[in-house]
Chains A and B, each alone.
Chain A
Amino acid sequence: MAVELDVFVGNTTIMDEEVYQLWLDGYTVNDAVRARMEGGVLDEFDATADVLLSDTMDQYRTFQMCERLLHSPAKLANQLLFQIPPHRQTMLIERYYAFDDVFVREVLGKKLSKGTKKDLDDISAKTGVTLKSCRRQFDNFKRIFKVVEELKGPLVENIRQHFLLSDKLARDYAAIVFFANNRFETGKKKLQYITFQDFAFCAGQLINNWTVGAVGEGLWLLPLANMDVDLDKEFLQELKELKVLITDKDLLDQHKSLVCTALRGKTKAFNEMEANFKNLSRGLVNIATKLTNTKDVRDFFIDLVEKFIEPCRSDRWTAADVKLYLTHYTNSAHILDTFKHQVVWDRYMGVIKSCIFKMYHD
């Protein structure tokens, strides 16, 4: 005696959030049943394992049928096959596009290509996220990347509208797309301590300040495809002008003395700051001037760590020290009378400052 067929279909599609999560996490039906039993569903409700298996199978089938629609969430709202109340649709989409920080951390900045997809089993083994779940997350990245690649307008807004995601999730995806597009290196050992949320914050800063879309509304009319995805080339060119801050000896000294005057007595690390000023300044300005090279753009974060964060850390600066230092470092440049590139400087340092604040932790 065997159950040959067993289905349960509701007019309003019945979905259990717990089972959905298990499905998303890549559990097989049997594993899901086991997990649910351990979760105590059976204790709350007097039922047998058979009932649980049957329910799990039904739900898994439903999710599988829904998956196609979830690939273009707008369809979910006007398809006719499943009657799902709007707030449930929102839940389905939001959860489907949710990802594990540990996983995304592994692929952040990598090319979303077949090659990377092949490495997913390694990533799965390393992160403990099931391969199935890895694939879903990776495909989500790729899908969103492909769609917004061809769209005009603000990146976050595009993602939110096309995939009906929450603001937070849309911002995270914008970061992923931005990182993938610019291929920022994030995998080096030195960068391991930086979480995805740190990077996402930095990406937000870059998108909001260093891309074409960031400049002003007038540019919206330009027939540029990836306003939010690509860095503003013109701006990158202008960054070269900052070189004067380190090449002009007078300017460098003047800058140093202004900063030191302002800092004196305000921090225990003053001596180290004073000693390291030229090194650090050179580091930051060099990063700026090299950003016209794609290769150096990729190394942006590693450069920040190597040229600034690491030296500071070895001198045991506190986060407050870093903040204090960078604030005065940025502001003092305005007082330099021969330094004419205030706008570019602010645009550059604004982002650098907030990125470093975010990244300066253990």
Chain B
Amino acid sequence: MPGKLKAKIVAGRHLPVMDRASDLTDAFVEVKFGNTTFKTDVCPKSLNPQWNSEWFKFEVDDEDLQDEPLQITVLDHDTYSANDAIGKVYIDIDPLLCTEAASIISGWFPIYDTIHGIRGEINVLVKVELFNDLNRFRQSSCGVKFFCTTSIPYSYRAVMVHGFVEELVVNEDPEYQWIDRIRTPRASNEARQRLISLMSGELQRKIGLKVLEMGGNAVVGYLQCFDLEGESGLVVRAIGTACTLEKFSSGSASITCPHPSTAPPSNACNSPKDGKELVFGEELPLSSGPPTPFRALPSSSSSPPPFSPSKPCSRQSSSSDTDLSLTPKTGMGSGGSAGKEAGPLKTLLRQQTQTTLEQREFPFFTLTSFPPGFLVHVGGVVSARSVKLLDRIHNPDEPETRDAWWEEIRQEIKSHAKALGCHAVVGYSENTSICEEVCILSASGTAAILNPRYMREGCLDVGSIDHRFDDPSPPNCGFCHIPYDELNMPFPAQLAYCYQCRRQKVPDVLFTTIDLPAEAAVTGKGCLIQARLCRLKKKAQGEVNATAISNLLPFMEYELHTQLMNKLKLRSMNALFGLHIQISVGENMLLGLASATGVYLTALPAPGGIQIAGKTPGDLNNEQHVAAIQKRINDAIAKNKELYQINPPELTDEGVGSPIPEPRQRSRIFRSHSESSDELSELDLSHGKKDAFVLEIDDTDAVEDIHSLLTDAPPPAGFHSCSTETMPGIYNWTSGIQMFTSVRVLRLNNTNLTNQGLNKIFTDLCENLLKSFYFKLRSTVPCCLCHLNFTVAVPEEELVQVSVTAVAMTFDKDQNQEKPPEKATTKGGSETEDQLQFPLELSADSSSTSPQPSKISVSSLEHCSPLPEGRSRSLCSSRSFGVGSVTMVKMTPLSFLPGTRIIKYLGIINMFFIRETTSLREEGGVSGFLHSFIAEVFAMVRAHVAALGGNAVVSYSMKDCVLMENPNKNQAQCLINVSGDAVICVRETDQEQTTNTGQTCGTIDGAT
């Protein structure tokens, strides 16, 4: 379906002085799309030129529309010499290709130059006319909606979740082409920016095609990454979850609104699991160790577990679920430990599985929160890493090697999920760390059992399903129940009856990569838990280096896990959500950082304390020492209980909640290697208190562990922090938000550092960053730092870089502990009917239409927001202020803005910028350089959102921030990649007024 792209250049402002003699500029504009270029007239001698050009029309294929950005170049006309470029604007026109997104792009864009940064602004109008085309062999995928948000977007309903989509494209990196030796840095940067823009356009188009093939119309949880592989090329890859989404119509909305009952009880073959296993079950393709062992299950285990018959509907789901979770095991069991050999496995799967989910190659979901009832059980975290040596990508059109690498990793993840008795992986993500020619590929997710109703064709009638699955068990603990068989646990764990329903078994600890389900019951508040680790390694090349790294990886994972576990226990919590483990490779060290939100899940048993065991019990001195440490730890636990308000209701041991009478198995060696449970029980270290977590201080490592355990300072009064979308235990958010990005780089001058010394430095770095945030945001208390996303890198041999993006959200201090009931429904994606009172057209036009609260709302806003920012957020108020005409655009890494309702998604924002300087000192050193670059990136994101007619970005993330510096040469270069969803949101209280204001404002905008 070809289309017509139209662009009009209106005016410029604040242009830089290009002619020193006159202190003015003779500016004109080149508008380029594909190979066609138009030019405006020269507007002589003005820093605020008015071009008011005609509409430039490009007739193009929609394939090009998807791939290519509109490229606008502002130049200074020079009669005698070459015209000087002032800067460029790349406009992604993808949002215009989707009928439900934006219909026009109109607004002021910063003119950006990779050497000078932002140099003035330009006002541009862009429209697209698409012609219908029913060609079934088309290469384009216009109309497929993309969302970065990792949940079902607000105001949409998931009719069906099709599953995993992935794609990657590769190319040569222009920076490493021969021509780069003779061209200017600017030309090289621009070539790179343009190439990446093209590649991500292409990638999105290809993913869109896959979605269409699957019968979907949208990609949710779209995650795109760049791998700068240096000499060997440039890889752009993306994953996402294909869905069929439906805008709420009055009929469906009313059906979904009533609390949809959760999950079929799903018989569940219960077996113990603990999440942690999985973390260690990872397998390095370069190492030859056996994968996580699983035993072949006796066929009898496929019969319903003893307690399931009591449930009326267990049979229904057992046909799918039980088979699902068991057959693969049988298959793999017969295959011994060759679980990652994809071939036989796949064939087996095809033969033995029936559901659509199973037919999928990878039953992965990038979503982290789900419609109510979607998630049935959660197994635990599964992750896999692999170390690869990069070589040149010879043929960009066949990126098979990279594809094969990822394929391998995904297979492994899948087999881990099977081992946990799960048929799906949710909260799935992939990332890489590259140093020279070594690349660590990582993938992780949460093994889970999903409700198949979202996956099957013909099951779309949500209403009727709700009636069928009236679940007797309380809906808020189902996901905690173990999905595996308790008699044949794939690893040792302690099980107990669920503390809520008392019917099903739950593990003692649960680790996940997803957000806390809205329906989950939590005791007290949560908190950020981080594990940090540095490991030195010898410098090496090639294969030797790769082997050294892959040998280190399991130990790092193990230690990170131990740290997490200890810190969790120290806070008296029993579950981790939003767990993200990153391992970054440098020339002489590996950095590991795990962040998660710890909570006390009411359904899980209370965590025992931490017990310190001395190595030599006889030694009196030692015993005193041990006692002292024990006391400190006990004190810390007691303090934390108070701090996080963890006062679980006391349960009597006689109750159903008592631990299952079976040998308790506590092992520090998670890589279990035998079939016999007797052997496992030998490793039982739990003595004394029934489920205390034992730490032996028999070596320096443990001492260090304990030390780091106790050095983590809790957030100061009034602050909370978490790595998930919201803080469990806080529900009454007010509208104040402040999103920020912070980057810190440490230079390690000390050449003979030990692992311990390095750990200390790294831990302090992270802790100090947090302290800095608390200090800077001290005026916003009470507030919570949400979605604290730490990224570590080793940009050079002695440098450690930590980048953080998060949002500070204010909340009402005098909150009632109960969460408001309507919150759950909103979070789950269901919407109330007044949603529908907004005619589409009200937001369909122009830059600033709908989100304008009326005067009344401004005052109400002031009333409730302690943040200064909140006060002036409305367009009306900023308009009334003098010449100010800049739309306030809020940004948040979360999928929602508190106190507002998203009424429209305008399209995905996916931007890549390069900034370079040859006058580093003059720009204030690296800090000054990066500070202004980050501010510029924010500004460009805001400008694009405002031009689409939006007033906020949700699910914002900075996926890359690659900084290279050479202070001796006075040079630095930085690459930043950001993404998010542009949206229009309105204050929840303004719903009724919006219709009116929207229309009036529309006419005003038309007039201006």
Contacts and interface: CB of A to CB of B under 8 A. Distances in A.
Interface of A: 1-14, 44-48, 50-52, 54-55, 57-58, 61-62, 64-65, 74-75, 77-83, 85-90, 164
Given A2-B746, A8-B772, A83-B942, 6 more contacts: A9-B935, A64-B924, A79-B886, A81-B936, A85-B873, A87-B868
B781 to A, nearest CB: 10
Given A77-B884, A87-B872, A4 B799 contact: yes
B883 A77 contact: yes
B14 A4 contact: no
B574 to A, nearest CB: 29
Given A78-B885, A80-B886, A7 B891 contact: no
B740 A10 contact: yes
B883 A3 contact: no
A208 B594 CA distance: 69
B274 to A, nearest CB: 37
Contact of A77 (B740, B748, B882): B882
Nearest to B924: A61
A3 B934 contact: no
A80 B108 contact: yes
A61 B118 CA distance: 17
Contact of B877 (A9, A47, A86): A86
Interface magnitude class on chain B: 35 or more
Contacts of B877: 86
Interface in B748-764: 748-750, 761
A218 to B, nearest CB: 29
| Interface-centre pick from A9, A65, A83, A90 (highest chain B CB count, 10 A) | A9
Interface in B500-538: none
Contacts of B930: 5, 7
Contacts of B872: 85-88
B677 to A, nearest CB: 49
A48 B771 contact: yes
B871 A5 contact: no
A74 B885 CA distance: 11
A45 B738 contact: no
Q: Which 3 A-B pairs have the closest CB atoms?
A: A77-B884, A85-B872, A86-B881
B775 A55 contact: yes
B932 A65 contact: yes
Contact of B771 (A13, A14, A47): A47
Interface of B is mostly: mixed
B928 A61 contact: yes
Given A11-B891, A45-B778, A78-B884, A6 B749 contact: no
Contacts of B889: 11, 83
Contact of B934 (A9, A75, A79): A9
A5 B963 contact: yes
Nearest to A73: B882
B981 to A, nearest CB: 15
27 contacts: A1-B749, A3-B745, A3-B746, A7-B931, A7-B934, A8-B741, A8-B776, A9-B934, A11-B942, A12-B738, A45-B716, A45-B778, A46-B716, A54-B772, A57-B927, A61-B928, A77-B884, A77-B885, A80-B108, A80-B118, A80-B939, A80-B942, A85-B868, A85-B872, A86-B882, A87-B871, A88-B868
B585 to A, nearest CB: 19
Contacts of B882: 74, 77, 86, 164
A46 B781 CA distance: 14
A5 B716 contact: no
Contacts of A88: 868, 872
Nearest to B744: A6
Interface string B464-486: 00000000000000000000000
Given A51-B775, A77-B882, A9 B746 contact: no
Nearest to A82: B935
A2 B800 CA distance: 11
A45 B744 CA distance: 22
Contacts of A85: 868-869, 871-873, 878, 888
Contacts of A10: 738-740
Contacts of A9: 740-742, 931, 934-935, 938
A79 B118 CA distance: 11
B853 interface: no
A9 B939 CA distance: 11
Contacts of B110: 80-81
A67 B928 CA distance: 14
A94 B923 CA distance: 26
Contact of B740 (A8, A44, A55): A8
A82 B936 CA distance: 8
A3 B776 CA distance: 18
A6 B771 contact: no
Interface string B188-218: 0000000000000000000000000000000
Contact of A47 (B118, B744, B775): B775
